[in-house]
Amino acid sequence: MHANQTWTSLAAFLDECSTPEMQNLIAEATLEERPLPNPAQQLSDVKLRLRNQFIDRQLAALMQRLNQPETSETERDELLRQQQELRALKRQPLVPAAAPSGQRADIPVRSNV
């Protein structure tokens, strides 16, 4: 929402959350006033964990398709190639997101709101 400049308020953001658990997590995180000892490292760790969980879900879906009896040999070869790519991707470090021109990637862009 920030990047798309559609941020209005925390309440509006919470309304967009798909589950009550997500709403509770965000509400608790925004209400708790405690300093983060190393926010850059913690954010990096969370991003890495989320990326790896996504890759793990993709790998599980590939395995499910690989184990289907109707999967052809050609498709099986392609699925195995994709599996290798995902495993290689998981071993790679995270690359910082590209920032708008002239902006450092680790500094958030501030809106005029």
> Would you kindly state where each structural domain of the chain is located, as residue ranges?
1-34, 38-94
- Looking at residue 109, what is its pLDDT? 38
CA distance linking residue 42 with residue 52, whole number of Å: 15
Residue 7 has a pLDDT of 78
* Angle (deg, nearest 10), helices 73-91 and 39-66: 170
Percent share of the chain, pLDDT over 90: 42
The predicted model scores a pTM of: 0.58
Sign, CA torsion 86/91/93/94: positive
pLDDT tens string 24-79: 888 888 877 778 788 889 989 999 999 999 999 999 999 999 999 999 999 999 99
Residue 92: predicted pLDDT: 93
The separation between CA 93 and the C-alpha centre of its own chain, rounded to angstroms, equals 14
